[in-house]
Structure formats: C-alpha cells, structure tokens
Amino acid sequence: MLHPLASGDGPEPELMCIFGTGDLGRSLGLCLLQSGYRVVYGSRRPHSCGPLPEGAQVMTHEESARSAKMIFVCVHREHYEFLEKMAPQLERKVSPNPFCVFSRLVPKAAVVKGLNTLSTWALQNGLLAGRQVYLCGNNGEAKRDVAEMATKLGLTVVDKGSLSAAKEVEDFPLQLFPEWRMPLYVAFGLSAFFFLYLVIRDIIYAYVENDEDISYRIMISLANKITPVVSLIMLSLCYLPGAIAGFLQLYRGTKYRRFPNWLDRWMLCRKQLGLLALGFALLHAIYTLIIPARYSDRQRVISNVKKNTTTPLYFDNTSAWRTDSLYALGILGFFLFVLLGLTSLPSVGGTLSWREFSFVQSTLGYLTLFLSTAHCYIYAWDKFLRKSTYKWYTPPDSMLCLIVPSVTLVLKLVLVLPCVNRPLMRIRQGWERNRLKDEMGELKATNM
C-alpha cells in the first residue's frame, strides 16, 4: 500500500503528484505527507533519483500523473518541453504553482498560480503557517481545490481572480520591496542633498573661514541634523497628498474623476513614507540621547567651566524653558509617532475598527506632524534674526526643512475651516456641483 497513514478508517487521503525530485519537490512532498496527503513523484528515471521523503512513491511522469488529482510542477522552466508531450494526461488535472509557460503548453489543464511565492526554505523549515498566498486561475473549481489544500498546509489564501489578471502574482517572489522603492529614493535623495549642504555649510565653512578642523562632526553631529530634517519632511510628505486631493476635489466639485497619476501613486506610498520617517526619527532620538556621552560634548562642558571660572553662574530661565520645551515636544512627537508605527503592524491594525483606524491615522497623525513641526520651530527659534546664521548667505537646514510641513499644516488648517470643510464633506458623500442630484435610494453611502 502507498498510504503511510493507512490506519485511519476515513476515506483514503488524496494523491498528489509532484514532477521533479529536486529540492523544491522534496520539501513540498514532505509538507504534503505531513498534512496527510499521499504523494507520488513523477520522474523520467524513477529508479535513480536520490533520497525522497519517507512514504512517497516514484513513477514515470505518465504513470504518476494518471492517478493524481493535482500535479505540482517543480521542474526548471527550461525543461518544460516534456509537458507538451504529456498534454493528454494532464487534461483536466489541477496544477498549482506552474510558471506561465505551462498554461500555454497544456491549455486544457486547470492551472492555478500563486504557490510560487513559497520558497524551498519556508517549506523545509515549516514556516508556512499564517503565510499569505495569492491564487489566481480561470477554473473556479480547481482554484477551490488548491485553496483547500493550501489551507490544510496552514496557508492563508487570498483569491486574486483569473490568470490574465495576475501577472503580478507571478513576479511576486522576485520582487524586492517594490512599494518601498519610491519612498527609499526620496529618503536617499533628501539625505544626500542635506549631507552635501551641511558638509559645505558646517565643515568646509569652518575650515575656510575659521581655519578649524571639525570634520569629526560628520559621524554624529551631521547625522543628527540630517535625520530629523529628512524625517520631518517625509512625515509631511505623508499628509501633503491628502490635502492636495481635498483641494482638487473642491476645485473639480466632484469626487468621481480620477486623480492624476502622480497623486495616485503618491497616495499609495504614504505608509512607506511614514515608516521611513519613523526610522529616521528613531535614529535622531538615539543620536540626541548619546550627545552628553560624546568626547566633544564633554570637552565643551569643561571648556565652559574654564572660560568663566571667576564670574558667578547666570541661570537663564528663557534658555531653560526653551531647551526643555524643545525636548518635551520632541519626546511627545516621537512617542505618538511610535504609536502610529505600531498600528501599521498588520496584526495590530487588523484589530482596529474603521473609526479607530481613521482616528489613529488622521487625528494622531496630524498631531504628530504638528508636534514635530513645533519642535523644529523651537529649535530654529531666534536663528531667523541672527546674521551669523546665514553662513555664505545660505539659510540653515532647520529653516529649509520647515517649508513642507508648514505648507501641509496650513493646507490642512484651511480644509478644516467650517466654510471649506462643509462643501468638501458633501462632495465626499457623493454630491456633485455640476450634476443633478441623484435620485433617492441611490445616494452615496460613504460612512457605512
């Protein structure tokens, strides 16, 4: 008997066929056997194909395909030609996990794509439980069978429609953070710009004008200027597209026209922009906390003491208020930012109700942006007025980075004014300026 679990008195477990006895085939076979299926391997040389999982059989391709319900093709794409010859046997068989080629070669097989997102490594290490797989296929019944099988392996199945619609599923395992690409470019570009700007304004300026070598500042001081600046700009870039979209809807008087492509794409990468901003904020926090432990900072304290060793110490209450407010705003902003980040964890965000999620992402998000911007304004403080700030006639980085967040906050402020907010809300509920009001019973159910 084939069946390793023959002691059960239920119906015999289903037979799965795997073409290819390579690494992927072996791991997959083991997983299927552990989940109670019977497994038969199809091989062109069934008698010399190396060690296979215990309990599995090996046959020729033709034999193995005949009795099985599903056929997993775990063979390199280059060796697909043998499938063509087998077309009659494969007719009406379910075949999960094949590459595109397969469905062209054997048009009558019920092809279901999506398991290709699983790696040999995950299969070998029992890491399937809870992983998502996207299935697509033209044959509903076949898809249901594959979904059932995948569920038994502990996978979470998401139906992605027909084969034609699912080029993306195929490319999925080879993608490297596609939705992170744009935000990463932005982060990298901003960092590089501010790095160059600060090297020139701080290090080279000090060297040229004061003949001072403060190049050691690159490691921490400069990094601690770049990270907050990039973090604040990217955080406001998270909220700017939403504000722009609001104004666009107001201007157009309807919400039924698509946004321009650049705005659409911008809105889709808000989450990634925000998480990158959080990363930069975290770095900024650690860089700031390490300051008092630095050699240069300690020397500065000592030299401060030495400078005015005779005069009595003057305690400036304004300075105390200012630095403490600076830190307090920064800490609170960072704290809220961490909360925002936590709710973007799939397992946390998934438990929030709709209103909770929108409260966190919108209200808390704008509060974070406001606190961070205020933190930066207090840092810039009276630098606006001092002439020494404008080294070589350039504005300091703390001024440059205030532009985008200030604009975003002003736009948002305008949008929440009652006289602006009311028409916008009506538009968002489906009202259109240039059209007859829809008939009753038909109206937009935005808040359901």
Footprint on residues 41-60 left by its own copies (CB under 8 A): 43-45, 49-51
Q: Where are the alpha helices (DSSP H) in 254-390?
A: 261-268, 270-290, 295-307, 317-343, 346-349, 354-358, 365-380
| Residue 422 interacts with its own copies (CB under 8 A): yes or no | no
Closest C-alpha to 39, from 25, 27, 57: 57
Does position 434 interact with its own copies (CB under 8 A)? The reply is no
Residue in 87, 196, 208, 290 binding its own copies, rule: CB under 8 A = 290
DSSP classification of residue 313: P
Do 25 and 18 meet the contact criterion of CB atoms below 8 Å apart?
yes
213 binds its own copies (CB under 8 A): yes
Least distance in Å: CB of 79 to its own copies? 4
Of 269 and 404, CB closest to its own copies: 269
Site string for its own copies, 100-139 (x = CB under 8 A): --------x-x-----xxxxxxx--x---xxxx----xxx
Name which position in 194, 197, 266, 287 contacts its own copies (CB under 8 A). 287
Nearer to its own copies, 45 or 387 (CB): 45
Closest CA to 244 of 404, 430, 418: 404
Using the rule CB under 8 A, is 150 a contact of its own copies? no
Shortest spacing between CB 221 and its own copies, in angstroms: 8
Please give the size of the binding site for its own copies, defined by CB under 8 A.
Answer: 153
Distance CA 223, CA 287 (A): 8
- Tell me the per-residue interface mask from 370 to 409 with its own copies, x by CB under 8 A, - otherwise: ----------------------------------------
Helices (H), 35-127: 61-67, 81-85, 87-90, 100-105, 120-124
Q: Residue 211 interacts with its own copies (CB under 8 A)?
A: no
Which range binds its own copies by CB under 8 A, 192-200, 236-244, 354-362, 388-396?
354-362
**Rounded Cα gap, residues 422 and 428, in angstroms:** 10
Distance of alpha carbon 54 from the chain centroid? 40
Cβ-contact 114, 133 below 8 angstroms? yes
The interface with its own copies within residues 229-248 (CB under 8 A) comprises none
Neighbouring CB atoms inside 10 A of 299's CB total: 10
Least distance to its own copies from the beta carbon of 393, Å? 29
Contact string 321-350 vs its own copies (x = CB under 8 A): xxxxx-xx--x--xx--xx-----xxxx-x
Kindly identify the residues of this chain, within the stretch 189-208, that bind its own copies according to CB under 8 A.
Answer: none
Query: Using an 8 Å Cβ cutoff, are 28 and 123 in contact?
Result: yes
Radius of gyration of the chain measured on its C-alpha atoms: 31
